[in-house]
Amino acid sequence: NAGVTQTPKFQVLKTGQSMTLQCAQDMNHEYMSWYRQDPGMGLRLIHYSVGAGITDQGEVPNGYNVSRSTTEDFPLRLLSAAPSQTSVYFCASRKRGDLYNEQFFGPGTRLTVL
Protein backbone atom coordinates (compact mmCIF):
# COMPACT_ATOMS: atom_id res chain seq x y z
CA ASN A 1 0.00 0.00 0.00
CA ALA A 2 1.23 3.51 -0.82
CA GLY A 3 -0.91 4.91 2.00
CA VAL A 4 -1.83 8.58 1.61
CA THR A 5 -0.14 10.36 -1.27
CA GLN A 6 -0.10 14.09 -2.03
CA THR A 7 0.97 16.03 -5.07
CA PRO A 8 2.75 18.31 -5.62
CA LYS A 9 5.33 18.41 -2.83
CA PHE A 10 6.06 22.09 -3.43
CA GLN A 11 4.18 24.83 -5.23
CA VAL A 12 4.62 28.56 -5.71
CA LEU A 13 1.64 30.61 -6.86
CA LYS A 14 0.98 34.25 -7.55
CA THR A 15 -1.89 36.00 -5.83
CA GLY A 16 -5.13 35.30 -7.66
CA GLN A 17 -4.01 32.09 -9.33
CA SER A 18 -5.94 28.90 -8.85
CA MET A 19 -4.71 25.40 -8.26
CA THR A 20 -5.69 21.98 -6.97
CA LEU A 21 -3.79 20.02 -4.36
CA GLN A 22 -4.20 16.33 -4.97
CA CYS A 23 -4.71 13.68 -2.30
CA ALA A 24 -5.23 9.98 -2.79
CA GLN A 25 -5.35 6.95 -0.51
CA ASP A 26 -5.37 3.27 -1.33
CA MET A 27 -6.54 1.93 2.03
CA ASN A 28 -10.26 2.11 1.24
CA HIS A 29 -10.74 4.60 4.07
CA GLU A 30 -14.12 6.26 4.25
CA TYR A 31 -12.99 9.43 6.02
CA MET A 32 -10.62 11.95 4.47
CA SER A 33 -9.59 15.42 5.57
CA TRP A 34 -7.39 18.40 4.82
CA TYR A 35 -5.36 20.32 7.40
CA ARG A 36 -3.09 23.31 7.11
CA GLN A 37 -0.06 23.79 9.32
CA ASP A 38 1.18 27.22 10.34
CA PRO A 39 3.93 28.04 12.86
CA GLY A 40 2.70 28.08 16.44
CA MET A 41 -0.81 27.03 15.48
CA GLY A 42 -0.43 23.32 15.00
CA LEU A 43 -2.63 21.84 12.30
CA ARG A 44 -6.09 23.19 11.62
CA LEU A 45 -8.90 21.36 9.86
CA ILE A 46 -9.98 22.89 6.54
CA HIS A 47 -12.54 20.43 5.13
CA TYR A 48 -13.38 16.81 5.63
CA SER A 49 -15.41 14.04 4.05
CA VAL A 50 -17.08 11.02 5.61
CA GLY A 51 -17.63 9.29 2.30
CA ALA A 52 -17.96 9.77 -1.43
CA GLY A 53 -20.32 12.63 -2.22
CA ILE A 54 -20.27 14.00 1.35
CA THR A 55 -18.12 16.91 2.49
CA ASP A 56 -18.22 19.35 5.37
CA GLN A 57 -16.36 22.38 6.62
CA GLY A 58 -13.74 22.39 9.29
CA GLU A 59 -12.28 25.21 11.34
CA VAL A 60 -10.76 27.25 8.49
CA PRO A 61 -12.71 26.56 5.26
CA ASN A 62 -12.73 30.02 3.67
CA GLY A 63 -10.92 30.20 0.34
CA TYR A 64 -10.94 26.44 -0.21
CA ASN A 65 -13.26 24.06 -2.01
CA VAL A 66 -13.38 20.27 -1.93
CA SER A 67 -15.29 17.48 -3.56
CA ARG A 68 -15.28 13.72 -3.09
CA SER A 69 -16.38 11.85 -6.18
CA THR A 70 -14.53 8.63 -5.33
CA THR A 71 -13.46 6.93 -2.12
CA GLU A 72 -9.80 7.23 -3.09
CA ASP A 73 -9.45 10.91 -3.99
CA PHE A 74 -10.05 14.14 -2.10
CA PRO A 75 -8.68 17.19 -3.96
CA LEU A 76 -8.42 20.62 -2.36
CA ARG A 77 -9.01 23.61 -4.62
CA LEU A 78 -7.81 27.15 -4.16
CA LEU A 79 -9.91 29.29 -6.48
CA SER A 80 -8.01 32.56 -6.01
CA ALA A 81 -4.86 32.16 -3.99
CA ALA A 82 -3.96 34.72 -1.34
CA PRO A 83 -0.70 35.20 0.61
CA SER A 84 -2.57 34.13 3.76
CA GLN A 85 -2.85 30.66 2.22
CA THR A 86 0.91 30.19 2.32
CA SER A 87 1.18 27.09 4.47
CA VAL A 88 1.94 23.40 4.56
CA TYR A 89 -1.07 21.29 3.68
CA PHE A 90 -1.63 17.78 4.94
CA CYS A 91 -4.21 15.29 3.79
CA ALA A 92 -5.30 12.48 6.10
CA SER A 93 -7.58 9.47 6.01
CA ARG A 94 -9.04 7.01 8.47
CA LYS A 95 -11.30 4.03 8.49
CA ARG A 96 -14.83 4.26 9.80
CA GLY A 97 -15.26 2.12 12.86
CA ASP A 98 -11.59 2.01 13.80
CA LEU A 99 -11.46 1.81 17.60
CA TYR A 100 -9.05 4.72 17.99
CA ASN A 101 -10.13 6.70 14.93
CA GLU A 102 -6.47 6.79 13.99
CA GLN A 103 -5.69 9.09 11.09
CA PHE A 104 -2.99 8.44 8.52
CA PHE A 105 -1.28 11.50 7.12
CA GLY A 106 0.26 12.19 3.75
CA PRO A 107 3.73 13.77 3.39
CA GLY A 108 2.39 17.29 2.88
CA THR A 109 2.41 20.00 0.21
CA ARG A 110 4.33 23.20 0.89
CA LEU A 111 2.53 26.10 -0.79
CA THR A 112 3.86 29.62 -1.15
CA VAL A 113 1.63 32.41 -2.46
CA LEU A 114 3.46 35.53 -3.57
> Per CB under 8 A, which region of 21-29, 43-51, 63-71, 72-80 contacts other proteins?
43-51
Among 24, 35, 68, 93, binds other proteins (CB under 8 A): 35
Q: Considering beta carbons, is residue 19 or 50 the nearer one to other proteins?
A: 50
Query: Which one of 43, 60, 76, 111 is in contact with other proteins (CB under 8 A)?
Result: 43
Q: Is 100 in the site for other proteins (CB under 8 A)?
A: yes
Vertex 19 angle, CA 18 and 24, to 5°: 155
CB 94 within 8 A of CB 102: yes
Instruction: Specify which residues 101 forms β-bridges with.
Output: none
Stretch that binds other proteins, among 13-21, 54-62, 65-73, 79-87 (CB under 8 A): 54-62
Residues in CB range of 32: below 8 A, 6 or more apart: 23, 25, 48, 49, 68, 74, 91, 92, 93
Q: Site residues (CB under 8 A) for other proteins?
A: 31, 33, 35, 40-45, 48, 50, 56, 58-59, 90, 92, 99-103, 105-108
